[in-house]
Amino acid sequence: MNQLLFVIGGWLGLLSRASLLLQLLLGIALLLGYRAWRLRNPSAVSWRPVLAKLALGALVALASLVLTKLGWPGGLLALLGQLVAIWTGLAVLRLLLRRRLDGGAVESYWQRAVLPLYLVLALVGLVNRIDGIEAISDVPLLNLFDESLSFGKLVLLLGLPYFLVVLSELPVALVGGLAARLGGIEMGNRKAFELILRYLLIGIGGLWLADQIGLNGTAIAAIAGGLSVGLGFGVKEVFSNFVSGLWLLFEGSVKPGELLVLQGDICQVKSLGLRAATLTRSSDNAELVVPNQTFFTATTTTYTGSDERRCGTVQVRAAYKHDPDRVIALLLDTARANPLVLTDPAPGAKLSNFGEYFMEYKLDFWMADPLKSGSISSQLRQQIWHRFREQGIEIPLQSGVIAQAS
């Protein structure tokens, strides 16, 4: 720890150099000027900020060149110019990806992966320019499982797992898309392939990290033993959902886009992760997060399994004095006139029951989109009411009172 403080103290001593202070002041002034321009032009994703970054890079390069011509060091400004050039290239790539891919997904990956990685690389480049990265990375801090842990290894241990998880998302998705196009893999199997590949990459990265920080076999066995105890007592449900998620993806019984009935409501599977599935409820557009093992312990009704067509029913009453054949024909004509009702299978109508004051009829119809069941049933009820009014069909109430559609 004392050695680390000594290195940091040496960096602070460098601030007394006039050449370093001049470069820092020039760099900060240029960055503040760019920041002030961005505050007046807050457009986050357009070509104007890219042009502003190009102008900033040109000014930084010019300042570095002037200092060099005057015989002053300009290494820090040269590094800043390189970082601005890299940032400009990333901004161009960001714009191009937003034109071809989902903008929200691009922004999410940008904030979680690209921006943190760029900041880390910029910091490493700055430290390397000032004093050499080895000067601080080799500073010993503490012992872990009888192995000396240096500052560089500690940073690697804390930062690499995050970047393994986040950065693996995009390349795995690209490989999965390529495999789907070349091999004709279904969506469920593709998602399973992507998840397994991603966790395989994370596992390999974890083993490489353990080797880099010098963990021996005894240390790894101790960590594995702790994890096994954790699986048995603390995270049993998480592990169960993990296995259930993989099984569901391979089996394809619950996959993205599937329409399921959950607690009496029609829901569409938005995504299927390793822990839980995210479903969108059609009645209020709410998102439900359902643990994967729920689909193994409860009966699930699906509307998009082997056949996406769904049968709907509308029930109606009519007075005894009306001929049942006439009412049935009227119901069938109404269903056939609705463009959302399928002709194959054809709609059917029947006399379903004799009530005390009325006869009950049932109209069965088929639809192609189960999500429109409520709206189609509502349309048919309105159309039946209008047809009953036109034909003088009376609808008795429970008490025997006649409600004529007029």
Mean pLDDT over 92-99 rounds to 81
- For 21-25, the CB contacts below 8 A with 24+ separation are 22/67, 22/72, 23/67, 23/73, 23/74, 23/75, 23/76, 23/77, 24/76
Nearest to 159 by CA among 125, 203, 205: 205
pLDDT in tens, 113-130: 888 888 888 888 777 776
Q: Which two tokens stand for residue 265?
A: 């409501």
Q: Rounded to an integer, what distance in angstroms lies between the CA atom of residue 161 and that of residue 296?
A: 32
Cα 376 to Cα 21, 22, 284, 328, 368, distances in angstroms = 73, 73, 17, 19, 11
pLDDT in tens, 271-300: 777 678 888 887 777 888 888 888 877 777
Phi-psi region of 369 (alpha: psi -120 to 50; beta: other; left: phi over 0): beta
Cβ neighbours for 238, distance < 8 A, ≥ 6 positions apart: 275
402-404 and 394-396 strand pairing: antiparallel
What does residue 167 show for φ and ψ, rounded to 5 degrees? -70, -20
Assess contact for 394 and 379: CB atoms under 8 A.
Answer: no
Mean pLDDT over 24-36 rounds to 80
Q: Rounded to an integer, what distance in angstroms lies between the CA atom of residue 261 and that of residue 153?
A: 51
Which is higher by pLDDT, 101 or 138? Answer: 101
Return the pLDDT at 406.
43
68: helix, strand or coil: helix
Q: Rounded to an integer, what distance in angstroms lies between the CA atom of residue 57 and that of residue 73?
A: 18
Q: Rounded to an integer, what distance in angstroms lies between the CA atom of residue 278 and that of residue 271?
A: 5
- Model confidence at 220, pLDDT cuts 50, 70, 90, reads low
pLDDT in tens, 325-367: 999 999 999 999 998 898 888 999 999 999 888 899 999 999 8
User: Domains of the chain, with CATH numbers?
Assistant: 1-138 (no CATH), 235-302 (2.30.30.60), 310-391 (3.30.70.100)
**Which amino acid is it at 398?**
Q
**Which amino acid is it at 135?**
A
Give the single-character DSSP code of 371: G
Handedness of CA 119, 120, 123, 129 (dihedral sign): negative
Which is higher by pLDDT, 67 or 323? Answer: 323
Predicted TM-score of the model (pTM): 0.53
Minimum mean pLDDT range among 31-45, 56-70, 161-175: 31-45
Return the pLDDT at 227.
59
| CA distance between the termini of the chain | 91
